[in-house]
Amino acid sequence: MRNNPRDNLLGLHRQHVKAWEQKNLEQLREIYAQDAVIFNMVPPPRFSDFKTFENTAQQYLSRFNELTFFTSNIQIEIRGDVAWITSLYLMAYHSEGQLHRHSGRWTEVYSRVNGYWRLNHLHSSPDPVDTPHP
Protein backbone atom coordinates (compact mmCIF):
# COMPACT_ATOMS: atom_id res chain seq x y z
CA MET A 1 0.00 0.00 0.00
CA ARG A 2 1.32 3.42 -0.92
CA ASN A 3 1.82 6.18 1.62
CA ASN A 4 -0.95 8.44 0.33
CA PRO A 5 -1.24 11.72 2.35
CA ARG A 6 -4.95 12.03 1.50
CA ASP A 7 -5.64 8.52 2.89
CA ASN A 8 -3.53 9.29 5.98
CA LEU A 9 -5.46 12.49 6.63
CA LEU A 10 -8.83 10.79 6.10
CA GLY A 11 -7.72 8.16 8.62
CA LEU A 12 -6.74 10.89 11.09
CA HIS A 13 -10.09 12.61 10.57
CA ARG A 14 -11.91 9.35 11.30
CA GLN A 15 -9.77 8.76 14.41
CA HIS A 16 -10.52 12.32 15.53
CA VAL A 17 -14.29 11.85 15.13
CA LYS A 18 -14.17 8.47 16.88
CA ALA A 19 -12.17 9.92 19.79
CA TRP A 20 -14.83 12.61 20.25
CA GLU A 21 -17.63 10.05 20.09
CA GLN A 22 -15.88 7.83 22.61
CA LYS A 23 -14.94 10.85 24.75
CA ASN A 24 -11.36 9.59 24.58
CA LEU A 25 -9.09 12.46 25.61
CA GLU A 26 -6.00 10.25 25.42
CA GLN A 27 -6.66 9.58 21.73
CA LEU A 28 -7.33 13.29 21.13
CA ARG A 29 -4.00 14.11 22.81
CA GLU A 30 -2.22 11.89 20.26
CA ILE A 31 -3.82 13.76 17.34
CA TYR A 32 -3.50 17.38 18.52
CA ALA A 33 -0.32 19.45 18.57
CA GLN A 34 0.34 20.75 22.07
CA ASP A 35 0.04 24.35 20.87
CA ALA A 36 -3.16 23.72 18.89
CA VAL A 37 -5.65 26.57 18.73
CA ILE A 38 -9.19 25.32 19.18
CA PHE A 39 -12.42 27.18 18.45
CA ASN A 40 -15.28 25.03 19.62
CA MET A 41 -18.76 25.04 21.05
CA VAL A 42 -17.28 23.97 24.37
CA PRO A 43 -17.16 27.16 26.51
CA PRO A 44 -15.02 29.22 26.43
CA PRO A 45 -15.09 29.33 22.63
CA ARG A 46 -11.30 29.63 22.13
CA PHE A 47 -8.41 27.62 23.57
CA SER A 48 -4.81 28.51 22.83
CA ASP A 49 -3.34 25.11 23.72
CA PHE A 50 -4.48 21.53 24.03
CA LYS A 51 -3.91 21.21 27.81
CA THR A 52 -6.36 24.02 28.63
CA PHE A 53 -8.87 22.54 26.21
CA GLU A 54 -8.41 19.05 27.67
CA ASN A 55 -9.21 20.22 31.21
CA THR A 56 -12.42 21.90 30.05
CA ALA A 57 -13.44 19.16 27.61
CA GLN A 58 -13.27 16.50 30.31
CA GLN A 59 -15.94 18.30 32.35
CA TYR A 60 -18.02 19.10 29.26
CA LEU A 61 -18.01 15.56 27.87
CA SER A 62 -18.90 14.00 31.23
CA ARG A 63 -22.40 15.55 30.90
CA PHE A 64 -23.25 13.43 27.85
CA ASN A 65 -24.56 9.89 27.75
CA GLU A 66 -24.64 7.82 24.56
CA LEU A 67 -22.83 10.38 22.42
CA THR A 68 -23.06 9.78 18.67
CA PHE A 69 -20.97 11.83 16.27
CA PHE A 70 -20.92 11.66 12.45
CA THR A 71 -19.27 13.73 9.76
CA SER A 72 -20.20 13.96 6.10
CA ASN A 73 -19.24 15.91 2.98
CA ILE A 74 -15.56 15.49 3.91
CA GLN A 75 -13.20 17.63 1.79
CA ILE A 76 -9.40 17.32 2.05
CA GLU A 77 -6.94 19.88 0.68
CA ILE A 78 -3.16 19.51 0.87
CA ARG A 79 -0.58 22.23 0.20
CA GLY A 80 2.89 20.92 0.96
CA ASP A 81 3.16 20.27 4.69
CA VAL A 82 -0.17 21.93 5.52
CA ALA A 83 -3.58 20.34 5.03
CA TRP A 84 -7.13 21.14 5.97
CA ILE A 85 -10.22 19.03 6.22
CA THR A 86 -13.72 20.44 6.16
CA SER A 87 -16.90 18.54 6.87
CA LEU A 88 -20.41 18.77 8.21
CA TYR A 89 -21.18 17.14 11.53
CA LEU A 90 -24.18 15.72 13.32
CA MET A 91 -23.95 15.13 17.04
CA ALA A 92 -26.62 13.46 19.17
CA TYR A 93 -26.53 12.71 22.89
CA HIS A 94 -28.70 12.16 25.93
CA SER A 95 -28.46 14.62 28.79
CA GLU A 96 -30.78 14.94 31.77
CA GLY A 97 -33.14 12.40 30.21
CA GLN A 98 -33.54 14.24 26.91
CA LEU A 99 -32.21 13.59 23.42
CA HIS A 100 -30.30 16.55 21.95
CA ARG A 101 -29.11 16.95 18.36
CA HIS A 102 -26.74 19.49 16.90
CA SER A 103 -25.42 19.92 13.38
CA GLY A 104 -22.71 22.22 12.16
CA ARG A 105 -19.45 22.73 10.34
CA TRP A 106 -16.06 21.38 11.28
CA THR A 107 -12.61 22.41 10.04
CA GLU A 108 -9.32 20.75 10.95
CA VAL A 109 -5.93 22.22 9.98
CA TYR A 110 -2.95 19.86 10.09
CA SER A 111 0.77 20.37 9.62
CA ARG A 112 3.29 17.67 8.81
CA VAL A 113 6.38 17.64 11.01
CA ASN A 114 9.01 14.90 10.70
CA GLY A 115 6.63 12.92 8.50
CA TYR A 116 3.69 12.99 10.95
CA TRP A 117 0.49 15.00 10.66
CA ARG A 118 -0.59 16.88 13.81
CA LEU A 119 -3.78 18.85 14.29
CA ASN A 120 -2.87 22.51 14.80
CA HIS A 121 -6.26 24.10 14.57
CA LEU A 122 -9.84 22.96 15.04
CA HIS A 123 -12.88 25.10 14.41
CA SER A 124 -16.37 23.76 14.89
CA SER A 125 -19.51 25.81 14.91
CA PRO A 126 -23.16 24.88 15.09
CA ASP A 127 -25.50 25.62 12.24
CA PRO A 128 -27.52 28.77 12.86
CA VAL A 129 -31.05 28.14 14.08
CA ASP A 130 -33.58 28.63 11.33
CA THR A 131 -35.79 31.57 12.16
CA PRO A 132 -39.18 32.16 10.56
CA HIS A 133 -39.29 34.97 8.03
CA PRO A 134 -42.23 37.41 8.04
Q: What is the pLDDT of residue 54?
A: 82
State yes or no: pLDDT of 77 exceeds 80.
yes
User: What average pLDDT score do residues 5-17 get?
Assistant: 95
Asked whether the beta carbons of 54 and 62 are under 8 A apart, the reply is no
* pTM of the predicted model as reported, rounded to 2 decimal places: 0.84
Cβ contacts of 42-50, under 8 Å, gap ≥ 24: none
Q: What are 18-55's pLDDT values in tens digits? A: 999 998 989 999 999 988 888 876 666 677 777 888 88
State yes or no: pLDDT of 80 exceeds 90.
yes
Which among 26, 115, 124, 114 is positioned nearest to 69, based on CA atoms?
A: 124
Q: What is the pLDDT of residue 100?
A: 87
State yes or no: pLDDT of 130 exceeds 70.
no
Asked whether the beta carbons of 93 and 114 are under 8 A apart, the reply is no
